[in-house]
Structure 1
């Protein structure tokens, strides 16, 4: 009997020692991860792995990947108040966490429009550039106005000729446009003076072959 009691006592002692060493099973701890977006742009954030119904088990490593929408770009993360720029971003769930993905709109490209003239005239652009630049996709209307005695001939857009006036161009690159103006051809006056008083203004003349009076010409025709 004493031996049995000794064995039972020994067994209980072992169980007690094991219990004291291991303790009671600890409950599993879960943490919450809140993910949101901010900034002038837009995008989505994926989480790997996805959270369980209770959240993430303590110690879980979560990979966050920011994917900006078209026209937007990823800028940074805000993990609480700490900034991070790595994308993807790995975080360890050792507490409840709030993470914000910041997306901004991508500024549009800007292009320069250079306007030149050949001859005498002016060119107006509508709309006018902002600090010498147009945003990508802007439609610009160019209007050529010749000076008195001149006429508009054509545009040179790079090396391409255009004749429409006004001319519309789309700013999808830096562009150089030249407006070509030319003098209007005026008919020459033909006069001949042999005697008497006659004043002639603005007509080209030559001395006649016999030396008397003046001959005025138009083209190849001579009137005597």
Structure 2
């Protein structure tokens, strides 16, 4: 089968899924090979937030299923008070919030967010000397 397609079987004078197969041509016969297009999913999860809070952002992509070789945009949007850190896909990491991926099979991506920490407040005690 061509890339992106899977052979699913024979119909007509030949049946089954054996490939290659042999048909005896002792008269006129029709044989049809049937293929289905491979379709895949992209699963996106988010990480971020602490102490059981909601994740620190959302991620979007076009609805699947997707075809092998198709280019798909993934976009991570941080919530107020959070920043986007990276995408994780297996051992690969991407620091851009919007990336394009080429579908090669079922894929899993994690959008990682982190809370934006405010400046640290310090109390300073200064001795007061009076004369």
1:128 aligns with 2:63: yes
Paired with 2:89 and 2:40, the residues of 1 have a C-alpha distance of: 15
Count of residues in Structure 1 that have an aligned counterpart in Structure 2: 112
1:186 aligns with 2:121: no
Going from structure 1 to structure 2, the CA distance change for 1:101 and 1:171 (only over 3 Å counts) comes to same
Paired with 1:175 and 1:72, the residues of 2 have a C-alpha distance of: 19
TM-score, length basis structure 2:
0.69
Which residue is equivalent to 1:164? 96
Which residue is equivalent to 2:53? none
Is the Cα–Cα contact under 8 Å of residues 157 and 178 in structure 1 kept in the other structure? yes
TM-score, length basis structure 1:
0.43
Identify which of 32, 39, 48 aligns with 1:102: 32
Paired with 1:84 and 1:173, the residues of 2 have a C-alpha distance of: 31
Paired with 1:148 and 1:72, the residues of 2 have a C-alpha distance of: 45
Which residue is equivalent to 1:138? 70
RMSD: 2.6
Q: Which has the higher contact order (CA 8 A, sep 6+)?
A: 2
Going from structure 1 to structure 2, the CA distance change for 1:163 and 1:85 (only over 3 Å counts) comes to same
Paired with 1:159 and 1:91, the residues of 2 have a C-alpha distance of: 53
Is the Cα–Cα contact under 8 Å of residues 72 and 103 in structure 1 kept in the other structure? no
Which residue is equivalent to 2:85? 153
User: Structure 1 regions of 5+ residues with no counterpart?
Assistant: 1-68, 78-82, 190-216
Paired with 1:122 and 1:156, the residues of 2 have a C-alpha distance of: 14
User: Structure 2 regions of 5+ residues with no counterpart?
Assistant: 49-55, 127-131
Is the Cα–Cα contact under 8 Å of residues 158 and 175 in structure 1 kept in the other structure? no
Larger Rg: 1
